[in-house]
Structure formats: C-alpha cells, structure tokens
Structure 1
Amino acid sequence: MKHLLLKNKGIRWQVILSFLFSWLCHLASGQIHYSIAEEMRKDSVIANIANDLGLDIKKLSSRKLKILSHISEKYLYVNLDNGNLYIKQRIDRETLCGTETTCLLTCDAVLENPLNVFTITIEIQDINDNSPVFFHEPFTIEMVESTSAGTSINPDGSKFPELVLEKPLDRETVKPHELILTALDGGNPPRSGTALVRIIVTDDNDNFPLFTEQLYKVNVNENIPANSIVATVTAIDKDEDVNGQITYSFSKTSGNANNKGTFTINSLTGEIKTNSNLDYELVTNYELAVQAKDGGGLVSHCKVLVEVMDENDNVPEIYIITLSSPIPEDSAPGTLIALIRLHDKDSAENGEVDCKLSGEMPFNLVFSSNSFYAIVTTGPMDREKVSNYNITIEATDRGSPPLSSYKTIRLEISDVNDNPPIFMKSSYVAYVPENNLPGASIYSIHASDADTGDNAKITYSISSKNTEDHAMSSYFSLNIETGVIYAQRSFDYEPYHEFVIEVTASDNGQPSMSSNTTLTLKVIDQNDNSPKLLYPSAESGSSAGFELVPFSAEPGSLVTKVVAVDADSGHNAWLSYQFIQVSEPSYFTIDEHTGEIRTHHIFQEKDILNHKVVVMVKDNGIPSLSATTTVTLVVADNFQQVVPKFVNQITDEDSQSNLQLYLVIALAVICLLFIITVMLVVISKCTKSKPFPVYGPLSSNLYPQVDPRMLSQYTSGTLTLPYSYNVCVALESGESDFTYMKTNQNVPVDNLIDADDSGLGNESLKESLKTRSQIQVSF
C-alpha cells in the first residue's frame, strides 16, 4: 500500500545580485514521499505528481517537467499529458538496496519557466518474493562415531539452525545419514527452501578447529592495490597429527564477490588478499564466510566483514539539463541561460560539490535545490563587442584533496538592431572637373554597421542642400546598395561652383536606424571661356574710336588701359596682355599684367602720329584661350589737330577699299557683256538673217550703242535692257585704283567720327567733311 507524505519546507528565495534579481529569481523546493511495493508491473501508476505539487496539467509541457536522477531515470517516468508518475521497469528491492533495512529511491522533478525543483522520495517496500536459499546444497558433515548424544552441530557457523545428535552413532551400523532440511520464511504466504544434509560417520576426531574470533571486521580503502592483505584468520585444533592439520577456504559469501574472485585466501596461513581493485561506488562491503577444516574432517566457520572505505577518487560530474542559445543581446538581467545538475559518486564530504563560473562574464550561477544550479544573465550584453561566450563551469568536491571537473558551454549572442550605420567622416569633399562625361562615377561613399545580417544591410539615399532651383535627380544618381554617385550631366563651373549633398545611410533593421553625412562636390574649373574685352569693346569693331596721345607726353605716360575679364577661375582666369601687331620702332608698350598702354619715348615731328595696335589678351589655361582688339592711338596736342588727319586717313582708307570692290564688279560686268556679244555674233552667223548694221566710229563711250530691237532678240534675261553704265578708268598709269560708283554717292560724316567723340568737333568741320565726301564719277 502506498501512501503520500508531503512536507513543505517552504519556498525560499535565492537572490544573487539583489539589484538585478529581486524581481525575477525565486526558486522553490519541496519534498514528496511515496511508498510502493517492489515488483510492481511496468507502466503501473505511482501517483499523480501534478496534483500533489499543485501544478496545472495543461502547463506541464510548456514548463518542461522532467524526472532526473542518477539511478531513478531507468525506473521512473512521467506522462506530461496527465501528470502521472509511472514505473518504467520492475523494481527489485534486493537488487536495488541489498540487505539494507530501508530502501529509498530518490529523484528530482524539475520544471522550467519559472524554475522549480522538487525532491521525490519513493520507499520500496519488501514483498515475500524470495524463497530461503541454502548456500550449500547438500551439506556434508563428518561426525566421529564417538560423538555423544546431545551434541549440537552448526552447519553454517551461525547460531541456528542447530542439528542435535539425539543418540550415539554406530559407524558400523549406518555409515552415512541423509536428512532433508527445510527453511520457511515469515512471509504471507510463507516461502520455503530445502537442503540435503549428509552426515558421514567417521572415526574418532574429537576436537573441532576453533577460530580465534567468530567475526572479523576490517576496513579497507577502495584504492588499496591488488594482492594486498586485508585480513588473516586463525583457527586452532587441539588434535594432533593429521586431525590437527587445518586448511582454510571460503565456504560462502554474501553477494557475488567471491564468484568474481575479488578476494583470495591462503589455505595454509589464512591470509585474505585482494584479487582485483575495489570500488566503493560499486560495493561498499563484503561478507566472507571462511571455514577451517582439520585433517580428520572436522569443520568450523567464521565470518569476515570487509568494509570498503570511500576515497575521493571520482570527480564531480556536470550535466547540462537545458541550454538556451542563442539569446538576444538585449536580454533582460536574470534571463535563464542554462540549467545544470551536479553529481559526485563519492560519499559524505567527498560527494559534496561546490560550483562556480570561471572568469569575468555577465552571468551568474544561482543555486536552485539539491544539486541543481541555474546560469542567468546579470547585465547588458553587446554582441558587437562580444558575439559569443565560452562559459566554463567549475565543479569542486569537498574531499581531501579536492577534485574538480570543468565543462564549457558556448553561448551565442544574437544581434538586435542597436547600431546605426556610421560614416568614417562627418563630411566629405570631392572634386570633379567641369565638362565631365555624363554617366561617369564621380565618388563612392561608404558607411559601416556594427550589426549583422539584415541589421547591417545598408541602403543609401541623397538629398540636396543648395540646389533649390534645380532637381537633384537631374544632376546626380546614386547606387543605393554600393553608395557610388554618378553624374547625370556635364557640370559647368561658371554657374555652379559646388554642390552640397546630404547622404543618408539606413540599415534594414526593425526599426531601421540611419545616419547622415555631407558630401561637398567641388567643380574644378576647366579653361573653356575665352577672355572677354570690356574696354575697348570688341563689338564696335576696330575703328570704334581712338585714344588721344599728347605730343609732349613723357616716356612711360599712361595712354589707355585694355580691360578684359575671364569667366573661368584660378590660373585659367589669369590674363596677360601683349601687342601682336606693332610698328618698328615701337612707340608704345603694354603692361603684361595690367593691360596699361604707355608711351615708349618722346614723339617728334617726323614720327608717325597715327598708330593702330592690336592687343591680344591671353589666359593662363592649358591650352590657353585669347581675344584681340585694335586700339587706335593718335598723337596730337588737341582734338582740332586730330580731326583733319583722322578724316583724311579714313577717307583714303575707305576710298581704297571701295575702289577695290568696284573694280571687281566692273570686271564681272565686262566679262558678262563680252560673252553676250560673242553669243550674238555666233547666232547671227548661224541664222544668216539680216546683216548687222554698220556701227559708227568709236565714241567717247567704251562700247558702241546697240540697237535695242536687235538685242531684244538675243537677250537671255541676264541684263535688262536698255541700261547705261558709267565707268571710270584711271587716266594715269601710276594709279591703279578702279572705281565704280553710282552718281552722287554720299558718305555720311557720322560714319567717319565715333559717336562718343562727336562733341569734340564743330559744325564747320562736319560741313567740310560732307563736302569732301560728295564724289561724282561719270563716263
């Protein structure tokens, strides 16, 4: 019959690092006692431990209920569906506990989430399942025929049963006597065992060997070497000769130690030696039955009890019951990492084990109950600094000297998105030349993320800080995965010197984290702009005006200054000035850097007083670009002296230019008329119509008058007839000018004088120029 006794020892709180675990870690322990009979059938129900422990049956699986024990695991198991504790296999009390008075089977019921450990003690009750067994069957006893009646004979050396001789023996009448000895136990129903007792009647040997002690007790350390003497038994026989010669032997032994040959006995000396190594953890004591037999066949018995003393020869064993790996790096303090169980096969202090963690780590070891410990977190973890831990558990017993064992568990720390992408710099500067090829990569920017996996996968984006008036996408594109920035168009340094771009790096974590940096893209100037003349303006032509140089000017006097600018910058905008067409000797000099034109020496009457100089402005680019302008310099003391000379010069220049133009036109007309005349003559001869009229003598005109009626028959439409042309040919051979002009062609005086200088003349000068410019040419 089984019964239940539940002793509440209370729930105790184990607090390690009180500021971390005061709200988390509490571990309860209790003890449950059951009593069952041995030899119960497999899968027999012992009890419902869920009800006894007050647990919710529905939560047994989630709390991972386990039955743990060094021995009990092969005898017991629990069903998580109903909470029943079952017999896994038949339990034989004699096999499990031997001859011990009380046989207890101890195990631990372990629950997780939260952690609780309960001790379960099961007492195995004996049933009458073993019949009495005689160690020797049959028993053979030799008795001298002269043995007197009433003599007690002890077959196995114990106080009972006693075989008593009731009447004298007569060897000559009956030599052997055979008796059946029956043994009954006190069970219900009782069991019995029988043995044959054979008594052989011998001649007189009236003294039995006698041991000095009926019970020998010795203590032997388990690490004693093999073939060591553990005890010596001694028996004395008062007979002489053969009847007094004693031999020793094992007659019986408890258990199977003798069968295994653990001990040997010297038949002559009675020395008992170890035949193999002893192990306290396997057998704690041995009971040896020794008999002494004299030469006459008389036998006496004694017992030798060998107690094996425990030595600290077993290191503690560490078992990992549960392990949670990996755990997030942001796990709260007190998170359960592992549940471990310790066991030492030694006994007493040799089997008591202390446990600790080696090294400095954010973990702590919390004692649960009995031999269970929990490893929990004690503080924050950072995967980026330490991605995994090798937690070494050190278990040390209390033996002398103590023995230790170690077990290392590897704990992986899983990543959480707690690090934003990081740029190496808070700002970057890049340079790109203007007129670059569209589509070319111009810069690569990179950010790193200390996290891993998707938390470290970075995408890039850009936005502008200074391009409000134009779309960023029209200037740049970005590879969102690599961070490479491409130019969408060619840059022009002149309107935009630089672009300020904000680059954002975002990771793929949940929630996403990001960081920014600034990329300043500076456009490098190329020499793609020629110098632009501001003064004198190149748009008004080479004869736009003139500069008056005082006749009495000293050498080095400032005449004028050529002013130019360049839209480029830096070296490309450094300008230099120089003359490219200058008379010899040079009357003027120009400063290479400022463009200032100065007199070179004092002017004289014989010197040329009207100068045209061509100034080239050149930048410093590679290759360099340039612009030119013509500056007219007139040497005179006042403006009245300048106008006649200046007008004559202009008239001469214009006349010469016009004569050349008119000469070309006249030659073209003459050639055309000649071709027409030849065609008319050829046509006239071919058609043989009426003859050509005879023309008069050569008149003052270059060609004779032609009858319009005749010409109208052959005109090709090139010239519209009749027309008259006035041709002027130079009469002097020294003159090569040929002028073809309309009659009364007038040249405005305003074309000869710069509008800006019109205030310097007077009306009489203008009238004079108008009169001189009216030229009539006729034939």
Structure 2
Amino acid sequence: MLGFQRRSLGTLRLLISLLLLAAWEAGSGQLHYSIPEEAKHGTFVGRIAQDLGLELEELVPRLFRVESKGRGDLLEVNLQNGILFVNSRIDREELCGRSAECSIHLEVIVDRPLQVFHVEVEVKDINDNPPTFSLREQSLLISESKQPDSRFPLEGASDADIGENALLTYRLSQNEYFTLESPTNSKPTKRLSLILKKSLDREKTRKLNLLLTATDGGKPELTGTLQLLVSILDVNDNDPEFDQLEYKVRMMENIAKETLVIKLNATDRDEGVNGEVTYFLMSIKPNGKLLFTLDENNGEVRVNGTLDYEENKFYEIEVQATDKGNPQMAGHCTVWVEIVDTNDNAPEITVTSLSLPVREDTRPTTVIALISVSDGDSGVNGQVTCSLTPDVPFKIVSTFKNYYSLVLDSDLDREKVSAYNLVVTARDGGSPSLWTTAIVSVEVADVNDNAPAFPQSEYTIFVKENNLPGSHIFTVSARDADTQENALVSYSLVERRVGERALSSYVSVHAESGKVYALQPLDHEELELLQFQVSARDAGVPPLGSNVTLQVFVLDENDNTPALLPTPVGGTVNVNELVSRSVGAGHVVGKVRAVDADSGYNAWLSYELLPAAGGARSPFRVGLYTGEISTTRALDETDAPRQRLLVLVKDHGEPVLMATATVLVSLVESGQAPKAASPMFASSAGQAESLVDVNVYLIIAICAVSSLLVLTLLLYTALRCSAGPTESACGPGKPTLVCSSAVGSWSYSKQRRQRVCSGEDPPKTDLMAFSPSLPPGLDREDEKGRQEAGSNNPIHVSFLKIPPIQNVYVTLFGTFVHRNF
C-alpha cells in the first residue's frame, strides 16, 4: 500500500513538471536543458521531440535534424525515441573559459512544413580543476645574515573553475624558519609572502625545501603545490673540518708505489672561496717524510716509497686543511697508518754448539747440536716449525720457542754410514709458506768395535818337502772394517808345541804383510801335516783380534831309497837258502822284504830278478810287488847246485831310487833239504803271518769303532737339527784338495764335508785315496799270486796325517779299508 502511494506521488510530480515546462516553452519559444560538465557519453539530456510536440513517426519523414554552431557533435538526438543525449566529452572550461555562464545553443529543423526550434543546454561547472602554480619549483636566495621579520613575496596559484570551486586558501609546510602571509578578502591587494621568523645559519642549514599548498573551495577539495627551494647564502665564518680527527688505515707491507692510502675529505661549511679547501702535509713520524705524498687539491695520501713492517709498524701523519676565505681558516687531522705484515721473510736457521765428530758408540738421546730459528715476520707468518731429513738416526726436539736440539735417535755404525748430511728445514706458517734449509754435516768417529776378519776360517796349504829355508809359503790377509789405527792390522803366530819343538822354529809370519815363511826345510817323513793358527790384531784400544787356521800339508818327494829288511850291510842283503831238487813249479823259496820311508808312488815298490851271468835261464822268479821268490818249473839235475839270485828293488818316484838283494840258493837232494826254512825266511814268514793277523784285527776294530762313531754323529746331528737351524747346524763344506803324485791320485773329497756337532772343534773332513791301475806288464802269475796273497801283501802306502776324528778311506787294489788316525 505504501509503495503504491509513493508511485502515485511520483507520477503526479512528473505531470506537474511537464505542465510547467510546456507553459515555459509556450512563453519563450525555446527549450532549456542543463547538464553538468564532464558527463559521460549517453547521458540523458531531455525528450526533445516530445518537448517540441513532434510525433516520433514524423521525425524521419520530416528530416528531423539538430545543428550547433562550432560545437560539433557534443549532443545528439536518437530518432527512434526522440531523446537528446551526450555524445562526447563536454568541458565547461574549454567551452566558456572563466565565464560565469556557459550554454550550448542548438537549432532543431524539420521540413514539411519547415519549422525551426531553438534549444539551450546549460553546462554547469563542477570542481574538476585543481589550483595550479605557474612553476613547479621556485628558488629563493636568502643570505644567512638576513634579520628576522624579513618578507619574501611569492606568486599565487590560479584555478580554472569558478565560484566556490575557484576560491583558494594557502598553507606552508612545517619548518622553524619561515611563516606564510596570505591575501584575505579584507585586504585583497596584499601579496602572498614568506616571513623570516628566525635567524639563518648556512653552516647549519644550507637549503630549505618548503612546500606551498593551495586548496580550492570545491567539494571535494582539490589542491596544487609549489616547491620552494630556499638557498642560504654564505659568509666565511667556519673553519674547514675533517670527517674525523683521527683516521686509522691498515696497509700491507711492500705495497706498490703510488698506492692510495686514504682520501681525506675536509669540508668547510662556508661556500664559494670561503669553502674551497687545500691540504698540506705537516709531519710524518717516525722518519717517514719521503714515504708518503699528499695531493693538496683532492686530499689523496699515496705511498711514495717501500713500506717494511720489520722496520716500522706504525706511521703518524699530520695533515692541515686551509680554506681560501679572508681571513683564512684551518683544520687538522691525524692519519694513523698501521703496516700489516706479509710473509716476505723466510725463516733463518742458526746451528750452534756442534759436538763433532760423533763417536759411533754414542748413546741415543745424546744432544749433538743446538739449533735456533727466527723469522722477521709476525703472527702466523713468524711461527716456525723445524723438520729433519727422514730415515736418519737423528731427530729434532723442541726445547723452547724457536729453539731445538739435534738429538741422536738410534745407534750409529760408522762401518755402514761414515757421515750424514742432515737437512734441517724451517718452515713458517704463512700462506704461501716460506722455508729455509740448512745442512748439518755430522761425521761419525770410529771406535774399535770390529775385529780383523779373515775371508776364510782356515786355509789348506801344500808345500813340497826339502824346501829352501825362509821360503814364502802363504800370505794371510785380514780386513778390519774400522779406520785409522783401529784398522791397522798386525799378524803373529799363535805359539804352540809341535812335538818337542816350538812352532816358531818351523814357520814365521811377517807382522805387517802377513806373509808366512818356512824357516827350515820340511821333511814329509818327519812331519806330514803342520797345523797352526795366525792371529790378526788391530791397533785399537783395547785391541781386537781373530785367528785363522793354516793346515800345511808337506808333500812327499822321492828322497828315500827302498830299505831292505833286515837292514843290509853295505847296501846289499846276502841270503843263503837250501832248496830240495824235488820241489815243483810255483814252490815259494823265500821272500825279499823292503820298505820305503816315502809315501804314495814314491813308496810303491816293485821287485825285479836280474838275469844270471852268462845268460843262463834261472828256474826262479820273483813276484813283481810281493817280493816272493818261487820256482818257475821243477828242478832237475842240470840246474847248478848253487843259484845266485840278484833281486832289484825300486820305487816309482822320480827319479827312481833302488836297492839290491842277493839270494844264494843251494839245491840239495830231497833227503838233505831242511824241514824248516832258513832263519831269514822263517822270520819273514812269521812276520808275514803276524802282519796278516794284526791287519785283520785292526780292520775289525776300525770298522766297529767307525760304525759306533757314525751312529753317534747321526744321532747327535738329528737332535741338533730338530732344534732349528743354528750356526752349528750341519751343512756342506768346501772340498779340500789333499795330494797329487805321479803314481796315484789324491783328489778332492767329493763326499759331503760334515760339520761334527762337537762344540768349537773345526769341521772334520773325510779323505779318499785311490790307488792306480796295475802296470800293463804284470804277468798273469803275478796277478794270481797277488790274488792268493790278498790283503796280506805288504804294500806300503804312506798316509797324510789328518787331524783327530778324521776318517781316511783307502782302496788297495780293489780292497776297501777304513782306518782312523
């Protein structure tokens, strides 16, 4: 119900308006509309066709059109509905300027019949223009000597609007020096001005930026601003002033020349010549006048020389700044230049208190030398560490800051290394690090800790008997690893008894050269082996020495003739023997026995029956090597009753030596033949049987003892070897050359040289002796007789004397005999 009433009231008001408008149009003859400026395109202005009394259907046929002089197409009519609307932007200030009234005049023309209507559209002002100043910024120059209440005129703002929209008021930004005086309606002629309310100080405030704001009376209010730049003019009333009274600069030493140290800036709060500053270098401490320069115009301090931290760590530079005012004003400052150390100094090494040379028996931990290091740098650059050549028996021990001791770290051996060149390296902690090396030459002094040593523990020497007295037979040589007097070796005999005589009666040794001389002729038959020791002693304190064993084998020479048994008289043995004529061939009549004091081939005897006088064939023969006289056939009556047999006995030496024996054989009838042999032959036969028995027992005893000895040695060796390898363990030795002659051969023992595990005794050596083959001229009978005789044949073989517990193996014509001497 309420809504209906409101709609009815609105309709009523519209009808009243239309009636009033129609009445006004009828009275004036034109239409009047009003619109605000800056209305948007399409804004409704009025129903012009209806207001003019024209039908909508007539608009097109009657050529309805609107014309406006010089206004363009600001307004337009919609021919469909007859409404006048805004077609483009309408700016009142552009159309009418600052005129109080502003309208757009339209002529509406229709044809058939021709009619002209006048329409006025009033454009109403809106506050769309802010106040504007002719300049955006205005500069004012005011001396700092101006007095308070001084006035400074300003240009006001303008507003394109009219009325209340153009009524302006002013305000000034907040400041402590100026106030604003504005024109009022009561005093329209009074200008807009700044009034100084406080004395100015250019050094305190050089410029003021003030904002002047103009505000119009429109709604909403619009404003315009003017920037006031107030510059305060100077008078020379201030000293030049540096930014700081003291400056601190850190610079690396050895910096390049012309390097900028600092750029000083002294300011004078005055301006112009009053504020122009020049710089002067007053003083540089200590003694650095030539190390720095100062540019008097820009205040740049630069390096003019070489800065050295180790020479001076600080410099004090006094600088003065002076303006050009009248009178001149001056200011001062101090520049402290701290020199920063760089790692430009390598460490230095000093070696003192050298204890040289160092004896090789010096105990470890003994101080050899004192070492000190220094570095001219500071901080980490001056922190030095020392190191020593690796793999040497020395070390460096730090005792105090930058002080070290060179200490023996392990045992020395001059014989291995006689001198050391120790490289001591000192390295600082800078980056990059610098280092220095020093060579410490340490000589190792010798002590007598090495005894003279022979290349071999024993030597075997062969010397022929009957040598010349004083002949050189051997030279011993011992080497001492020490030096000087500790290596000066002298030789001497280790005296002992040889039989009933002293060793020194046989041999001597030269004390310096080590040559061994035979003092007298040696006789193989008297002394087959001469074993002795030579001592080598050095000249150290105490002296050290060692011994070497010399085994001198006296080689046999054929200097003894065969000796007949029994001992002959006048060099000939005469034997008278009775033989029965009834004996057959092969009957042994007797035996000629002979011995030779020599050995080997020189003692190998052979027997030969010389032919009978007249060339008669003898019924007897003699064994070549046995000396047995036997019949070659059965005796008969034609044989002479007395047979004289001449037996020649000779050895195989060079030259051959011989002896003769004469055997007289009487042939008797069988009844007259004696039942027993002659005393000579009986004695010979008994001795032969006795020798056979003795040899058999001797061989049995030797075999038994040897077997027991071998078993004992094997058992002892097994026990020693099972305990692990030691120096006394059994091992092979060098074969030893024993003897050589024209008949037989004494050769190297090819069997193993066994070290007998019996304490400190020298190794025992087996000796093999081989007899020669039979001469080619031996007849079968002699060979048969020798086979029958077997080992009972008295073949004399001379054996070399071998040290105790040595074994000698002898092969006699195929018979193997083992004897211990």
TM-score, normalised by the number of residues in structure 2: 0.48
Q: 1:229 to 1:620 in 2, by over 3 A?
A: farther
Is 1:382 aligned to residue 413 of structure 2?
yes
Q: Tell me, which stretches of 5 or more residues in structure 2 are unaligned?
A: 1-234, 675-821
Q: How far 1:622 sits from its partner (Å)?
A: 1.9
- 1:283 Cα shift? 1.7
Residue 616, structure 1, aligned to residue 645, structure 2? no
Structure 2 partner of 1:273: 302
Contact 1:535/1:562 (8 A) holds in 2: no
Pair 1:408 & 2:445 matched: no
Matched, 1:285 2:314: yes
Three-state SS of the structure 1 residue aligned to 2:564 is strand
Preserved CA contact (<8 Å) 1:547 1:631: no
Work out the CA distance in 2 between the residues paired with 1:490 and 1:312.
87
Distance 1:225 1:626, change over 3 A: farther
State the Cα distance separating 1:457 from its structure 2 match: 2.4
Shift of 1:584: 5.5
Q: Matched residues in 2 for 1:291 and 1:601: separation?
A: 160
Q: Give the one of 602, 607, 628 matched to 1:572.
A: 602
1:660-675 equivalences under 5 Å are none
Task: Assess if the C-alpha contact under 8 Å between 2:241 and 2:267 holds in 1.
Answer: yes
Bigger drift between 506-515 and 337-346 goes to 506-515
* Superposition pairs of residues 501-650 of structure 1, within 5 angstroms: 501-534=532-565, 537=568, 539=570, 541=572, 543-546=574-577, 548=579, 550-554=581-585, 556-582=586-612, 583=615, 585=617, 587-606=619-638, 610-634=642-666, 638=670, 640=672
Q: How does 1:416-495 map to 2 (within 5 A)?
A: 416-495=447-526
Amino acid at match of 2:253: E
Shift of 1:340: 2.0
Q: 1:310 to 1:627 in 2, by over 3 A?
A: same
Residue deviations 1:3-31 (CA, integer Å, cap 9, x gap): xxxxxxxxxxxxxxxxxxxxxxxxxxxxx
Q: State the partner residue of 1:684.
A: none
Partners of 2:649 and 2:473 lie apart in 1 by 34
Cα 1:211/1:594, change in 2 over 3 Å: same
SS at match of 1:425: coil
> How do residues 1-400 of structure 1 correspond to structure 2 at under 5 angstroms?
209-236=240-267, 248-259=279-290, 262-292=291-321, 300-400=331-431
* CA distance, structure 1, for counterparts of residue 480 and residue 567 of structure 2: 63
Cα shift at 1:641: 7.6
Give the deviation of 1:292 after TM superposition: 4.4
Aligned to 2:87: none
Evaluate the alpha carbon distance shift between residue 268 and residue 634 of structure 1 in structure 2; reply closer, same or farther with a 3 A threshold: farther
Q: How well do the aligned residues superpose, as a CA RMSD in angstroms?
A: 3.4
d(CA) in 1 for partners of 2:354, 2:501? 60
Q: Which sits farther off after the overlay, 314-323 or 448-457?
A: 448-457
Change (3 A) 1:272 1:589: farther
Unmatched segments (≥5 aa) in structure 1: 1-203, 643-779
Q: Identify if the C-alpha distance between structure 1 residues 301 and 605 changes in structure 2 by more than 3 Å, giving closer, same or farther.
A: same
Q: Is the 8 A contact 2:342 2:381 kept in 1?
A: yes
Residue identity matched to 2:349? I
Deviation at residue 567 of structure 1 after TM alignment = 0.5
Contact 2:611 2:618 in 1 (8 A): no
What is the one-letter code of the residue matched to 1:385? K
Secondary structure at the residue paired with 1:496?
coil
Letter in 2 for 1:510: V
1:151 paired residue number: none
Q: Distance in 2 between matches of 1:210 and 1:560?
A: 157
Distance in 2 (CA, whole Å) between partners of 1:379 and 1:564 is 75
Per the TM alignment, residue 393 of structure 1 is displaced from its structure 2 partner at its CA by 2.8
What secondary structure does 1:423 align onto?
Answer: coil
Secondary structure of residue in 2 paired with 1:314 = coil
1:401 shift after superposition? 4.0
CA contact (8 A) 2:393 2:410 kept: yes
Provide the C-alpha distance between the structure 2 equivalents of 1:336 and 1:525, rounded to a whole number of angstroms. 66
* C-alpha distance in structure 2 between counterparts of 1:479 and 1:378, whole Å: 44
Displacement, 1:484? 1.9
Distance verdict in 2 for CA 1:562–1:267, change over 3 Å: farther
Judging changes above 3 Å, is the alpha-carbon distance between structure 1 residues 274 and 546 closer, same or farther for their aligned structure 2 residues?
farther
* AA matched with 1:272: V
Q: 1:396 to 1:608 in 2, by over 3 A?
A: same
Once the two structures are superposed, what CA deviation does each residue of 1:449-482 show, in whole Å capped at 9, x if it has no partner?
2332323323322134441411333222332222
Residue type of the alignment partner of 1:565: V
Work out the CA distance in 2 between the residues paired with 1:351 and 1:438.
82
487 and 207 in structure 1: CA distance in 2 versus 1, 3 angstrom threshold: same
Show CA shifts across 1:422-449 (max 9, x none): 3333333222221111122222222232
Relative to structure 1, the CA distance from residue 607 to residue 224 in structure 2 (aligned partners, 3 Å threshold; closer, same or farther) is same
State TM-score, norm by structure 1. Answer: 0.50
Give me the whole-angstrom Cα distance separating, in 2, the residues matched to 1:639 and 1:562. Answer: 26
User: CA contact under 8 A between 1:466 and 1:499: conserved in structure 2?
Assistant: no
Q: CA deviation at 1:611?
A: 3.7
Deviates further, 428-437 or 531-540: 531-540
* Partner secondary structure for residue 602 of structure 2: helix
Per-residue CA deviations over 1:214-255 (Å, capped at 9, x if unaligned) read 433221222533443332223456777777665555332111
Whichever of the two has the greater Rg, that structure is 2
- Contact kept? 1:549, 1:633, Cα under 8 Å: no
Cα gap change, 1:634 to 1:535, in 2 (>3 Å): farther
Distance in 2 between residues matched to 1:418 and 1:567, nearest whole Å: 51
Determine helix, strand or coil for the equivalent of 1:350: helix
How many angstroms apart in 2 are the aligned matches of 1:386 and 1:303? 66
Residue 619 of structure 1 aligns to which amino acid in structure 2? D
CA distance in structure 1 between the aligned counterparts of 2:431 and 2:653, rounded to whole angstroms? 93
| Counterpart residue identity of residue 670, structure 2 | N
Q: 2:293, 2:620 → 1: CA distance?
A: 140
The alignment partner of 1:528 has SS state of coil
Quick one: which amino acid aligns to residue 578 of structure 1?
E
CA contact (8 A) 2:571 2:659 kept: no
Counterpart amino acid of residue 352 in structure 2: I
Mapped partners of 1:588, 1:275: distance in 2: 139
CA 1:611–1:293: 2 relative to 1, 3 Å: farther
SS of 2:547's equivalent in the other structure is strand
C-alpha distance in 2, partners of 1:639/1:623? Answer: 48
Offset, 1:325: 0.8
For 1:461, what is the secondary structure of its paired residue?
strand
Distance 1:364 1:206 in 2: 76
1:711-768 Cα shifts (integer Å, max 9, x gaps): xxxxxxxxxxxxxxxxxxxxxxxxxxxxxxxxxxxxxxxxxxxxxxxxxxxxxxxxxx
Identity across matched positions, percent: 42
